[in-house]
Structure 1
Amino acid sequence: MEKDDYPQELVSKIKIEERDTVLDIGCGNGTITIPLAKKAESVTALDISTGMLDILREKAAKESLSNINIINRCLEDVEADEIGTHDVVVASRSLNGIADIQPELEKINEVAQKYVYMTLWGTGNHEFEDKISKLLGRENHEHPDYTIALNILQEMGVQANVEPLKSNTRNFYSNMEEALDRIEWRVGELNEDEKNLVKEHLSGVLTKDPDGSLSYSRTSSKWILIWWEKIN
């Protein structure tokens, strides 16, 4: 199994002090949340998946971390005043596929006080989705890459920094049903025969991890880190 060095690579780029409050958008199973919580005063972990948040709670308990506040919502369905302001905002691999991304970028910029860090697709990150689309005999409609977000930020007056993050990375799912939900989000609704076909394929490519989640390794993924400092 390839080592997932993406979290270490990203966290090393984040400027954070021990009195900082952090918002982790789309936190998943806490891959980024846990190391941030060890550095910051507190972390607000936002995610729609109850399964992933349960895994995060277990990880936090094992690490004796009591400074993680969990919100079981997705970014699109929560208002800025419900989240509150945070010194540092992180959106790790969680904004990909949002069709109307400008309101979410504005929301992120509004709640951030010091820094924003987000990672989005570069190029060549769609092998997993391409294989499933081919299996189903469907055309794979790729979501926009990071350049769309970057152009919107420029229109907002945000002068963002851009740098590549080349790493071996893993996609995590709390169970097979969540993996299927993610696939449907990418390629469209599946009928029962298609679901069974995809399940059979996933059973051969997903790895069961010690925490009970399932994962898929993307070797040499090309992620783009976009970050900026807030000028108040």
Structure 2
Amino acid sequence: MKCIKTGENEVEINYKVDWNGLWNKSLQNLPKKNNPESWDNIASKFNEWMEKDDYPEKLLNRIELDSNDSVLDIGCGNGVITIPLAQKAIKVTAMDISSKMLEILKKNAKNSDLNNINTCNRRIEDVTEEDVGKHDVVVASRSLNGVSDIGKELEKINNIAKKSVYLTLWGADNRRFEREMAQLLGRESHRHPDYIYVYNILHDLGIYANVEMLESNTRNYYSNVEEALDRLRWRIGDLNKDEESILREYLEENMIKTTDGTITYSNGKADWVLIWWKKSE
């Protein structure tokens, strides 16, 4: 709220920004991937995609956890974050909308001799605080980017956490590669809402969070161009045959070959931002 004096009169102007509304508006024209089918379709490939990603290690190094803590891992996927958390915590609730992802997580947990992980095949938007129960620590690793009305979910997450919350979201201009590919195909390109929306929504909620860039080497590595094209198809939406041909030619000309024989996008490195806060005593 701001007051401006004009002559003898003082005019009150409301300039409060609706960050949640802007977030929702930005999501409207982006590929819809926040559904079980989309994640089920890539579940079997997810382990391979994550093999050379040092992001999990970077995030886990920032999460403070005691051995008697309970953890809620929202959007847990195949358990790349969940498993290490369960090795430190007394119990973990692993939540994901993909039943296929949870099947892989359970297999990975069994292989790691862990029996302190409970799974929940639901999205955070569809559960209440009472459904989930209180947890000492809440983690949402790269899982809130497509959530609508995120302000309501952030408030819910804050209420669930007893000690601390850790969220990772897109960095500024992080989806530029997808936009470049859309422009190559003559499609309209749109910006994905990034971490600054969430930071400001939290601020409006009275939550004054810490913000850190996660300096990770998050890249996607592939054994061949067809595998890269398959991942790109998932990232930017369905492709027709002409579009596939255009992208295949582009990838063949621009992908970089690594020393171990895999290939990667020359400009496809992702940036992630960690937003975290501790609950007041």
Q: Same fold (TM over 0.5)?
A: yes
Unaligned segments of structure 1, at least 5 residues: 206-215
> After superposition, what is the alpha-carbon deviation per residue over 1:174-232, rounded to whole angstroms, capped at 9, x for unaligned?
x99x968954xx65xx476589769979x988xxxxxxxxxx88865321111000114
1:227 counterpart letter in structure 2: W
Separation (CA, whole Å) in 1 of partners of 2:147 and 2:90: 30
| Paired-residue identity, % | 51
Residues 194 and 45 of structure 1, relative CA distance in 2, 3 Å threshold? farther
Aligned partner of residue 22 in structure 1, secondary structure = strand
Match in the other structure for 2:46: none
- The answer to whether residue 116 in structure 2 is matched with residue 92 in structure 1 is no
Long gaps (5+) in structure 2 = 1-48, 222-226, 256-263
Residue matched to 1:21: 70
Q: Structure 1 residues 224 and 82, CA, compared in 2 at 3 Å: closer, same or farther?
A: same
Change in Cα spacing, 1:154 to 1:142, as seen in structure 2 (3 Å) is same
| Deviation (angstroms), 1:129 | 2.0
Mapped contact 1:166–1:221 kept (Cα < 8 A): no
Question: Secondary structure at 1:147's aligned position in 2?
Answer: helix
DSSP 3-state at the match of 1:221: coil
| More strand by percentage | 1
Choose which of 70, 92, 95 in structure 2 pairs with 1:43: 92
Determine the C-alpha separation between the residues in 1 that align with 2:275 and 2:78.
22
**Contact conserved, 2:233 with 2:239, CA < 8 A, in 1?**
no
Question: 2: distance between equivalents of 1:143 and 1:84?
Answer: 31
* 1:12 alignment partner AA: N
C-alpha distance in 1, partners of 2:269/2:57? 15
Answer yes or no: is 1:54 the counterpart of 2:103.
yes
Distance 1:194 1:166 in 2: 37
> Is structure 2 residue 189 aligned with structure 1 residue 140?
yes
TM-score (norm 1): 0.79
Aligned counterparts of 1:26 and 1:181: Cα–Cα separation in 2: 21
- 1:117-165 CA-partner distances (Å, limit 9, x unpaired): 0011112421442254235421221221111111111111111111110
CA distance in 2, matches of 1:22, 1:122: 25
How many Å separate the matches in 1 of 2:89 and 2:248?
42
Superposed CA RMSD in Å reads 3.2
Deviations 1:88-127 (A, max 9, x none): 0001111113232101101100100000000111124214
Counting matched residue pairs gives: 214
Does the 8 Å CA contact 2:138/2:164 hold for their aligned counterparts? yes
Structure-2-length-normalised TM-score: 0.66
Q: Is the 8 A contact 2:56 2:81 kept in 1?
A: yes
